Amino acid sequence: MEPVVVLGSGLAGISVVRELRKLDQERPVVIVTWEDGGFYSKPNISNAFAQGKSAAQLTITPRDALAAQLKAEIRAGARVTAIDPVRHEITVDGGTLAYSKLVLAVGAQPIRLPIEGDGAAEILSVNWLSNYAVFRARLEGKRRVALLGAGLIGCEFANDLRGAGFEVDVFDIAPQPLGRLLPAQTAAFFRDKLEAAGVRFHFGASVTRVEKDGDAYRLTDNQGEITRADLVLSAVGLKPEVALAQAAGLSVNRGIVTDKRLATSAADIYAVGDCAEVAGLNLPFVMPIMQQARVLAKTLAGSPTEVVYPAMPVVVKTPACPAVVCPPAMGAAGAWREEATAAGMRALFENADGKALGFALVGDAVAEKQALATTMPSSL
């Protein structure tokens, strides 16, 4: 029997294999990855610096131990250059590898902003463990960090770096932090708490130019303001990795298009995680990925299963102001109702009948996460 081949050793790919092994101990599995093959949790990267953790310390399971746990072959440092859906094989490092089923867990790439200046090429993004190692090395002896993006990852990095004693300036064209997650009053409370911790926000501002200034950088934003920093980190978002799938003739949109069984437009090829657009939704968060992994494992084991998402709160790791958001389903009709708690904010997204379809909690209100999550509708 040809193996199940999984492209990617991140949370999505490894979770699929873990779940498959609960159902089938014998089916051959090959994991192909350009990384070193060890398992780490990418969400832990954005709050690791203040904890003093190196890239090596973030590795949860080294490659050989992981291969033994999963009863799988792990081909590390490998580059896949083509998929042949007709012949059921991939081209990897110049050779071919046949598959019975192929799982695309290839993740996403950082978005690069069109920034001018001789320092633009030195803007860092941290999306993989190897990026984090470079980031830590570049921070040695530095004090001032400029962050591009005040979304979830940008705010987590900002809080983490402030906790480690760095000066932090955060730029975002939006009028508030966590612009896609929090309604206005709740976002204002969150902003106040991070500013009280020393984060400097620049809203309505996008960096247009980064120039070298000795060992540091000079940033110019769209308002003409100048800010100096020792290091510039971009956290403006990710775009699903679709190039390999697109070249193979698979249907792609924002992500690799799949149905509710995670099946792509090509027979025996599936997509999961950050790269996947499942029934029209691209959900690059831990809980959706785990749901996808569980149902895909059942399908791979011979019991086709469709994904159904329960309420999936997103935890924002910002100790200066804890936050939890359970976004309403895309296109849901309703409005936010916000109210202050003793030391936080509670926001409920309610429909015309007053039924809550989503929530956002900051400060002490995060204690209500479990109780509210049980009342939320499932999606898909």
Is-contact 344 193, C-beta < 8 A?
Answer: no
Q: Is residue 26 part of a domain?
A: yes
Per-residue model confidence as pLDDT tens digits over 260-295: 999 999 999 999 999 999 999 898 889 999 999 999
Q: Are residues 124 and 204 in the same domain?
A: yes
The answer to whether residues 276 and 192 belong to one domain is no
How do residues 291-331 score in pLDDT, each as one tens digit? 999 999 999 999 999 999 888 899 999 999 999 999 988 77
Q: Is residue 47 part of a domain?
A: yes
Last residue of a domain, one of 181, 210, 234: 234
Domain check: are 59 and 151 in the same one? no
CATH number at residue 124: 3.50.50.60
Domain that holds residue 9: 4-109+238-300
Q: Distance between CA atoms of 54 and 236, rounded to whole angstroms?
A: 24
Task: Answer whether residue 379 is part of any domain.
Answer: no
Best CA proximity match to 204, nearest among 242, 173, 183 = 173
With respect to residue 312, please indicate whether it lies within any of the assigned structural domains: no
Residue 314: its H or E element: strand 314-316
Task: Identify the bridge partners of residue 360 per DSSP, sorted by sequence position.
Answer: 325, 347
pLDDT given at position 379: 65
Same domain, 144 and 207: yes
Q: What does the pLDDT look like over 357-377, one tens digit per residue?
A: 999 999 999 999 999 999 988
- Please indicate, yes or no, if residue 270 is contained in any of the structural domains: yes
Q: What are the pLDDT tens digits along the chain (380 aa)? A: 899 999 999 999 999 999 999 999 999 999 999 999 999 988 888 888 878 888 889 999 999 999 999 999 999 999 999 999 999 999 999 999 999 999 999 999 999 999 999 999 999 999 999 999 999 999 999 999 999 999 999 999 999 999 999 999 999 999 999 999 999 999 999 999 999 999 999 999 999 999 999 999 999 999 999 999 999 999 999 999 999 999 999 999 999 999 999 999 999 999 999 999 999 989 888 999 999 999 999 999 999 999 998 888 999 999 999 999 999 887 789 999 999 999 999 999 999 999 999 999 999 999 999 999 999 887 65
Contacts of 296 (CB under 8 A, 6+ apart): 16, 19, 103, 261, 262, 270, 272, 305
Q: Are residues 117 and 215 in the same domain?
A: yes
- Residue 317: per-residue pLDDT: 95
CB-based contact 272:289 (threshold 8 Å): yes
Cα torsion through 363, 366, 372, 377, rounded to 10: 90
Alpha helices in the chain (DSSP H): 11-23, 55-58, 63-70, 129-139, 152-163, 184-196, 243-247, 286-300, 369-373
> E-assigned strands of 163-251?
167-172, 200-203, 207-213, 216-221, 226-229, 231-234, 238-240
Q: Which long-range contacts (CB under 8 A, 24 or more apart) does 121-125 make?
A: 122/210, 122/212, 122/217, 122/232, 123/148, 123/210, 123/232, 123/233, 123/234, 124/231, 124/232, 124/233, 124/234, 125/233, 125/234, 125/235
Q: Under a CB-based contact definition with an 8 Å cutoff, are residues 318 and 194 in contact?
A: yes
Same-domain check for residues 90 and 125: no
* pLDDT score at 48: 84
244 vs 316: CA distance, rounded Å = 31
Domain final residue pick, 208, 234, 260: 234
Rounded-to-integer distance, Cα 107 and Cα 364, Å: 34
Q: Do residue 260 and residue 202 come from a single domain?
A: no
Same domain, 246 and 345: no
Give me the number of domains the chain comprises. 3
For residue 66, what is the DSSP state?
H
Q: Read off the pTM.
A: 0.92
Indicate if 58 and 71 belong to the same structural domain: yes
Domain limit, last residue, from 234, 249, 280: 234
| pLDDT at residue 46 in the model | 87
